Amino acid sequence: MADSTNKKATIYFAGNDLFVGHSPSGHAQVIETDSARNSAATPMELLLIALGACTGDDVISILKKKRQQVTEYRIEVNGERRDDFPRSYTRFEVKHIVTGHEVSAQAVARAIELSDQKYCSVAATLRGAAEIMTSYEIIEASEPT
Amino acid sequence: MADSTNKKATIYFAGNDLFVGHSPSGHAQVIETDSARNSAATPMELLLIALGACTGDDVISILKKKRQQVTEYRIEVNGERRDDFPRSYTRFEVKHIVTGHEVSAQAVARAIELSDQKYCSVAATLRGAAEIMTSYEIIEASEPT
């Protein structure tokens, strides 16, 4: 993660309910605000993706340090929102799905706990408004390393 | 914005500190977690972009309803983070820069207030952890409509 404490993004209105966001590091992306048209991810969707990648980065890094043999890894993030405006998130369910060779459940549980409680900046930001529930599944890889 | 209250994103570890996020609506994007390499936006950067596009969508929609003649519009979002882990955001500065013909300051201020207090789901989510300061600048367009 970036180590600067102060960074600026610029988001340009591109017309027709579209925006182009420029991240502080200079990367641009289209953002959709008309979910019916669905031409790109919406702002609220970006929060789900940010949460998954942030905690995923912590978890895979910790599992590597613990010398776990992970062959595939994905994170599923589900968000529940308020029915009324503002339709903020109230709850996230984050499921870590780890495929590998004899991956330790204890190691996975500990990695998730460290990310959730100590390291993940996105989770710590979102937790102010929403509870975050974590779970995991370990799948034994069919082929040997 | 999406009107479903329950949606799932999947984020795949792609190796080498990269993730590929799939939004609930099916849009994929690369996410960088090695900010030194800087090959794509990081998770924490996505929060800034999401906040800007979310509030920007509200503001431009309201200004259109108020028949304001906006020719250009951008939002600058600055985030301050904790120095210690977890390095969550503690404060956002959101500046709306509206270019147009005789755009009403009162209309802009009211649009921002409505987004900030009532409509913007991203702001309402992030406000749980961080304060959000808003400001605006109105620039007179050089050419007539």
- Does A37 contact B at CB distance below 8 Å? no
CB contact under 8 Å between B76 and A127, yes or no, is no
pLDDT along chain A (145 residues), means of 10: 65 98 96 95 98 98 98 98 96 98 98 98 97 98 74
CB A49 within 8 A of CB A39: no
CB A30 within 8 A of CB A14: yes
**Domain span including residue B35:** 1-40
How far apart, in whole angstroms, are the C-alpha atoms of residue B33 and residue B126?
A: 21
CB contact under 8 Å between B11 and A60, yes or no, is no
- For every residue of A45-90, DSSP letters joined together read HHHHHHHHHHHHHHHHHHHHHTT-EEEEEEEEEEEEE-SSSS--EE
Specify the length of chain B in residues. Answer: 145
Are residue B61 and residue B129 in the same domain, yes or no? yes
The pLDDT assigned to A39 comes to 96
The pLDDT assigned to A7 comes to 82
Q: Report the CATH number at residue B59.
A: 3.30.300.20
Are residue A109 and residue A121 in the same domain, yes or no? yes
> Chain A to chain B, count of Cβ pairs less than 8 Å apart?
286
Are residue B34 and residue B56 in the same domain, yes or no? no
Q: Name the CA radius of gyration of chain B, rounded.
A: 17
The pLDDT assigned to B7 comes to 82
- Is residue B3, in this structure, part of any structural domain at all? yes
Are residue B47 and residue B36 in the same domain, yes or no? no
Are residue A35 and residue A51 in the same domain, yes or no? no
Determine the average pLDDT of the residues in B123-128: 97
CB contact under 8 Å between B42 and A2, yes or no, is yes
Average pLDDT across chain B, whole number: 94
| Total count of domains within chain B | 2
The pLDDT assigned to B145 comes to 54
CB B135 within 8 A of CB B96: yes
How far apart, in whole angstroms, are the C-alpha atoms of residue B84 and residue B55?
A: 29
Q: Residue B1 — pLDDT band, cuts 50, 70, 90?
A: very low
**Dihedral angle, C-alpha A79, A42, A75, A129, nearest 10 °:** -40
